[in-house]
Amino acid sequence: MAAEWRTRVADALANQRTRANIGRALDGLVAKRRAAFPDRDELERLRDQGQAIRTQALACLPDLLAALERNCTANGIRVHWAETCDQANRRISDILHRHEARMLIKGKSMVSEELGLNAFLEAQGIEVVETDLGELIVQLAEERPFHILAPAIHKDRRQIAELFKARFPELPYSEDAEALTATARRLLREKFRGAVAGLTGVNFAVAETGTLALVENEGNGRMCTTVPKVHIAVTGIEKVIARLDQLPTLLTLLTRSATGQPITTYVNLVGAPRRTGELDGPQEVHLILLDNGRSRICADPELRTTLRCIRCGACLNHCPVYVRLGGHAYGTVYPGPIGGILEPQLQGLAAAGSLVDASSLCGACDEICPVRIPIPRLLNRLRAEGVGAGSDSQVPGRGSRRDPRQTAIWRLWAWLHADPGRYRLLSSLLSRTGTLIPRLIRPWTKSRRPPRLAPKGLHRLAREAGFTDD
């Protein structure tokens, strides 16, 4: 994982075109978010409310999930539980086969990316069509989403035009954004007409009423939930909230943090399948509730805060590391700061532990998170878990990143600094051999002069640092 991570980072840093594209796009999103919250006091009040709503939901998660299932079932929504990604994929596959569906139209869903659903269904001969424009672009490019919010944010108009021309050579070439969007709309409209089943994610599931809330800007989500005979909604178990009156606060935080909009173009509330006398809507609604390690995360009082996330993407937009690398460098479904704490807990530190180092710990993500997830603190916790073989936590792969060489170095450091005499002797020797700088840290001296202190100067620094009393 570490070697692959370094390779992806090097490739990302070398791709100047992509870096320029994401820099322009993310600068715009940051500016829009800032303008959407002109009143600082009001923003902090909303963040307090959002944190409290999500904290309460996670503290009462088993009870809320039971209430959600009970009320969804009473509404006519069929609820399916999936402990693993494989179970969720099989639940979805069974529903599609039962209705003889050979094609699935999809709204935007990060959980479906987590499942690897597209590849799973395509291996069974079922066509999967992404209907979100950004998701469609990355599907055509055979890539994974680049960003939680905007999957194709790394591509400019020319790249998208060239991709459409390669995939649809019979269509006229155009680099005009409106023309490209119209082309995608025409292609997708035929898919909508022939679809038996549609799949979407869920932004929030309201336990009190058994309601599924979905927000979007393109209308494709509404088409996926109303045109096909079958609607399948898939979500992680952490997306449940207690009451319907909590939804406005979370929607305000989500939409303004994500795109700077007061509200998205479409807010869809799915409460039941089509009833007698209604003219549209699916005949069946299925809700897939995915665990995939979330129960284990929720059991840890500190790591539980990871699950507050409402997937706004603001932490990515403000992260100096993500802005320079982009989503593909992470090699995971969830990139950026939230991916740095979520993926190691889902996959394990042995598989995704390198992501906890993909941070400068500057705290920008902490400052703007709408539900106050303490991401830097959790990154430090997971870094400690990675080397703490004696830990009794439930994080998979704890201790797997422990390096015997580093352990030996730190033990040597502790031994040297435990005795003032040893410390002074070493400092004196190092001050006289400053030119013998190891190759790996030599670039550090390009913009600064290495210290060359006389023994008395080193002794003074040691005394000021508290290593010696004389």
Give the CA dihedral 420, 426, 430, 432, nearest 10 degrees. 90
DSSP state of 130: E
Which of 79-83, 101-105, 163-167, 403-407 has the weakest average pLDDT? 403-407
pLDDT at 94: 98
Pairing of strands 266-270, 103-106: unpaired
Q: What is the CA radius of gyration of the chain?
A: 26
Domains of the chain, first to last: 1-36+306-402 (1.10.1060), 62-292 (3.40.50.10420), 418-464 (no CATH)
User: CA separation (Å) from 85 to 22, 45, 124, 347?
Assistant: 31, 37, 16, 12
- pTM score above 0.85: yes
pLDDT at 2: 76
C-alpha to C-alpha distance for 469 and 27, rounded to whole angstroms: 52
pLDDT at 300: 95
Calculate what percentage of the chain has a pLDDT beyond 90.
81
Is residue 251 scored above 70 in pLDDT? yes
Contact 316, 373 (CB under 8 A): no
- Reported confidence tier of residue 42, pLDDT bands at 50, 70, 90: very high
pLDDT at 458: 47
Please list, residue by residue across 187-211, b when 16 or more beta carbons sit within 10 angstroms of its beta carbon and e when fewer do: bbeebbeebebbbbbbbbbbbebbb
Contact 311, 339 (CB under 8 A): no
Is residue 142 scored above 80 in pLDDT? yes
What length does the chain have? Answer: 470
Tokens 């594209």 appear where? 21
15-31 average pLDDT score: 94
User: CA separation (Å) from 382 to 271, 348, 349, 385?
Assistant: 39, 10, 8, 5
C-alpha to C-alpha distance for 374 and 356, rounded to whole angstroms: 14
Residue of 171, 214, 191 whose CA lies nearest to 129? 191
DSSP state of 29: H
- Reported confidence tier of residue 36, pLDDT bands at 50, 70, 90: very high
**DSSP reduced 3-state for 236:** strand
Q: Which helix (H) or strand (E) holds 240?
A: strand 240-241
Structure confidence by residue, pLDDT tens digits, 269-328: 999 999 998 888 999 999 999 999 999 999 999 999 999 999 999 999 999 999 999 999
Q: Which helix (H) or strand (E) holds 267?
A: strand 266-270
The two three-digit tokens of residue 34, written as one number: 């800032």
The two three-digit tokens of residue 170, written as one number: 């019979």
The two three-digit tokens of residue 18, written as one number: 């992509």
pLDDT at 446: 67
**DSSP reduced 3-state for 391:** coil
414-420 average pLDDT score: 90
**DSSP reduced 3-state for 265:** coil
159-181 average pLDDT score: 94
C-alpha to C-alpha distance for 118 and 126, rounded to whole angstroms: 9
C-alpha to C-alpha distance for 277 and 274, rounded to whole angstroms: 8
C-alpha to C-alpha distance for 270 and 206, rounded to whole angstroms: 10
Q: Which residues pair with residue 198 across a beta bridge?
A: 105, 231
C-alpha to C-alpha distance for 371 and 47, rounded to whole angstroms: 5
The CB density around residue 399, as the number of other CB atoms within 10 Å, is 15
- Cβ contacts of 100 within 8 Å, gap of 6 or more: 196
pLDDT at 317: 96
**DSSP reduced 3-state for 338:** helix
Give 178-226 as a DSSP string.
HHHHHHHHHHHHHHHHH-SEEEE--SEEETTTTEEEEEESSSHHHHHHH
Structure confidence by residue, pLDDT tens digits, 337-380: 999 999 999 999 999 999 999 999 999 999 999 999 999 999 99
pLDDT at 68: 98
- Which one is predicted more confidently, 465 or 375? 375
C-alpha to C-alpha distance for 341 and 333, rounded to whole angstroms: 12
What backbone torsions phi and psi does residue 433 show, to the nearest 5 degrees? Answer: -125, 35
pLDDT at 437: 61
pLDDT at 428: 81
C-alpha to C-alpha distance for 93 and 74, rounded to whole angstroms: 24
C-alpha to C-alpha distance for 198 and 189, rounded to whole angstroms: 13
pLDDT at 433: 67
pLDDT at 453: 47
For the beta sheet containing 266-270, the strands, ordered from the edge strand earlier in sequence to the opposite edge, are 240-241, 204-206, 211-216, 266-270
For the beta sheet containing 284-290, the strands, ordered from the edge strand earlier in sequence to the opposite edge, are 78-82, 284-290, 230-236, 197-200, 103-106, 127-130
Query: What helix, strand, coil percent values describe the chain, rounded to 5?
Result: 55, 10, 35
Structure confidence by residue, pLDDT tens digits, 393-410: 889 999 899 888 888 988
Amino acid at 420: P
What mean pLDDT value characterizes the chain? 91
Is residue 436 scored above 80 in pLDDT? no
DSSP state of 5: H
pLDDT at 426: 83
